Amino acid sequence: MTATIERAAESLHCTACSHSAKLDPDVALERAVESALRAPSAYNTQPWRFRLLDGTLELHADVTRGRQVADPANRELYLACGAALANMRVTIRHLGREADIAILPDRKRPHFVARIRVGAVRHPTLADSRYFTAIPQRRSNRARFYSRPIPLGVGPSLAQAVEGMGASLRYLHSANTRDALAEIITFADRVQAQDARFRLELAAWLRGNQTDRLDGMPGFAFGLSAPMAALAPFALHALSWTSIRVVRDDELAREAPLLGVLLTRNDEPRDWIMAGEGMERALLFASSQGLASGFMNQAIQVPEARDRVRRLLNTTWWPLAILRFGFGPETRQTARRAVTDVLVRDREMA
Ligand SMILES: Cc1cc2nc3c(=O)[nH]c(=O)nc-3n(C[C@H](O)[C@H](O)[C@H](O)COP(=O)(O)O)c2cc1C
């Protein structure tokens, strides 16, 4: 993907002043879709569809790929669409244009997440290139992070990326609050493990390590060998799985060099989409600094746990994601569907 985009960008950068004037909007928007696909989404569901016509790209939430048990309000689904939107904006800016984006442009169509057009000429900044380069490098890391401290200034920069989109990233620094959050996370682990519907839904998105499927989560993303990954969907029903997960998540939350909760003032699709864009910018920034990142969202998915997170943070804002940052071991990239699987060029989209 990066190579094609770099080529497109190079061909546009033939002269300092006129490069982006030559940009074909449809080509740029198709490049933006390629980047959108690399966004994170819970269970790697990739809950998006695109329609491109005459210089206008539409991003639609694909609710058929929603998770009715873990995410009945589609909050995480909209968050993922917001992350995809971030990658699109970054790509269009990298190609030397502003991205004109209208979020939820049609009141009557709540799944119509955004309308995107290529806007005015704008010279790409260093930050644009840094974010752009990080798109294929970012991945969710579920390993224990090293104790190596995060450089000063990174925490505030991550928070700033989120604040730029009206959301907030609240860090948990003290051992007491981390312990309390770890306790809520493991409480949520237990609630989910006892829910047969949750286990069934999760099992449907688990994949073997040699899978041809282009969505879902392969075992290697959890550090599993091929034989273990093949067994994973069945192992979910075993009690030992719950205890392993609880011990692991307790460690991950307590040890994270930086642990933050993404919050929004309101709990509506517009807030989720914008927060998703800010979140992805923060994840890209972290990646550009060589930092790994990972989610621990079970405490958001279980309503009682989510209430407890609000009380712990003593806030009226709404928690959307729990994020860990730190230096960590490398992880492999997970698969994505192709542009042709998600992009239509028809006049109508159902
Ligand atoms: C809203 C949201 C919630 C997520 N929650 C979790 C989570 O609780 N635990 C986890 O391990 N990964 C979580 N993820 C990460 C996804 O599983 C991951 O993005 C997906 O599998 C694709 O992998 P990648 O991020 O490495 O590209 C979440 C991602 C998003 C966007």
What tens digit of pLDDT does each residue of 62-78 get?
A: 999 999 999 999 999 99
DSSP conformation class of 347: S
Mean pLDDT of 20-44: 93
Provide the residue ranges of all domains of the chain, joining segments of one domain with +: 2-139, 154-326
Give the distance (Å) from ligand 1 centre to CA of residue 14: 39
Mean pLDDT of 92-113: 97
pLDDT band at 20 (very low <50, low <70, confident <90, very high): low
Give the distance (Å) from ligand 1 centre to CA of residue 53: 31
- Ligand 1 and 43: CB distance under 6 A: yes
Q: Which CATH class is domain 154-326?
A: alpha beta
pLDDT above 50: residue 8: no
Q: CA geometry: angle at 185 spanning 184 and 189, to 5°?
A: 115
Q: Which atom of ligand 1 is nearest to the CA of 279?
A: 31
Return the amino acid letter for 214: L
pLDDT above 70: residue 1: no
pLDDT above 70: residue 188: yes
pLDDT of residue 184: 98
pLDDT above 80: residue 318: yes
pLDDT of residue 242: 84
Mean pLDDT of 88-103: 98
Cα(268)–Cα(197) distance, rounded to whole angstroms? 25
Among 114, 163, 161, 159, which residue's Cα sits nearest to residue 270? 114
pLDDT of residue 240: 76
CA-based radius of gyration for the chain: 20
pLDDT above 80: residue 347: no
pLDDT of residue 7: 46
pLDDT band at 9 (very low <50, low <70, confident <90, very high): very low
- Ligand 1 and 75: CB distance under 6 A: no
Q: Which H helix or E strand runs over 115?
A: strand 112-121
Contact 48, 349 (CB under 8 A): no
Give the distance (Å) from ligand 1 centre to CA of residue 295: 6
Contact 48, 61 (CB under 8 A): yes
Give the distance (Å) from ligand 1 centre to CA of residue 205: 12
pLDDT above 80: residue 348: no
- Ligand 1 and 317: CB distance under 6 A: no
Fold equal for 2-139 and 154-326? yes
Q: Which H helix or E strand runs over 258?
A: strand 258-264
The closest residue, in CA terms, to atom 3 on ligand 1 is: 42
- 3-class secondary structure for 319-334? EEEEEEEECCCCCCCC
pLDDT of residue 241: 80
Tokens of 250: 């307790």
pLDDT of residue 143: 97
pLDDT band at 236 (very low <50, low <70, confident <90, very high): confident
pLDDT of residue 238: 76
Q: CA geometry: angle at 162 spanning 68 and 62, to 5°?
A: 30
Q: Which residue has the higher pLDDT, 13 or 23?
A: 23
Mean pLDDT of 319-348: 94
Q: What is the dotted CATH code of the domain comprising 2-139?
A: 3.40.109.30
pTM across the whole model: 0.94
What does the DSSP assignment read for 52-64?
A: EETTEEEEEE-GG
pLDDT of residue 73: 98
pLDDT of residue 231: 87
- Tokens 């982006």 label which residue? 20
pLDDT band at 11 (very low <50, low <70, confident <90, very high): very low
pLDDT of residue 16: 33
Q: Which atom of ligand 1 is nearest to the CA of 320?
A: 1
pLDDT of residue 314: 98
- Ligand 1 and 298: CB distance under 6 A: yes
pLDDT band at 233 (very low <50, low <70, confident <90, very high): confident
pLDDT of residue 235: 83
pLDDT above 70: residue 349: no
The closest residue, in CA terms, to atom 28 on ligand 1 is: 42
Give the distance (Å) from ligand 1 centre to CA of residue 43: 6
In percent, how much of the chain has pLDDT > 70?
93
Pairing of strands 217-218, 206-207: parallel
Contact 166, 265 (CB under 8 A): yes
- The mean predicted confidence, pLDDT, of the chain is 93
Cα(111)–Cα(70) distance, rounded to whole angstroms? 19
Tokens of 334: 């997970």
